[in-house]
Amino acid sequence: MALSTPCNLVANPSFESGNLFPWVPSALNVAKISNATKAYDGDYYLDLQTAIGNRGNTISQRLRDLDPSVDYTFSMQVQAAAPSANYCSFYVYMGKNSTTGFVATDTVFNSGEWTSISGHYRPRLAQEYLNILASCTFEGSSYLGRVFIDDVVLAPTNCEDDV
């Protein structure tokens, strides 16, 4: 289970607090903490609803104490939970620009299995927003999708927590 530690700069990374804070969704009522299905690790995970028209919703968190001279490693566990979706896509970026702030992307098919997504990032500022965008693609455009997210980590590449 990912915890907030000196290495992991993400607060509430595994949603084990049972609430959303300090994560902020892009729209009202699209994100909730759940334990209705088996979490990747621990008891809880984030259940994020995607938007109609094969569009996405985003969950964001402001990160502090980033060092622009250090490379960071990102990882998270995801699951496509929309059984009728062709696939669900994840796009992770920092800051306001999804191109210059690119961290990771992947496409996940509805396997019912947790899948790891990872990437690397070097920050430009000491404080930036971590943004996780998810969308699901369907045959038609009038469907809502759902994805599960757990164990979100952004840590300096060479950092090791004392165990």
Per-residue pLDDT tens for 29-59? 999 999 988 999 999 999 999 988 888 999 9
Query: Which two tokens mark 43?
Result: 């008891």
Q: Please choose, from the candidates 157, 160, 154, 162, the residue with its C-alpha nearest in 3D space to the C-alpha of residue 9.
A: 154
The CA angle 151-152-158, to the nearest 5 degrees, is 105
Q: Strand, coil or helix: what is 87?
A: strand
> If phi over 0 gives left and psi between -120 and 50 gives alpha, with beta otherwise, what is residue 112?
left
The domain 24-156 having CATH identifier 2.60.120.260: the answer here is yes
User: Tens of pLDDT along 82-134?
Assistant: 777 889 999 999 999 888 899 999 999 867 889 999 999 999 999 999 999 99
Note whether 89 and 109 are within 8 A (CB). Answer: no
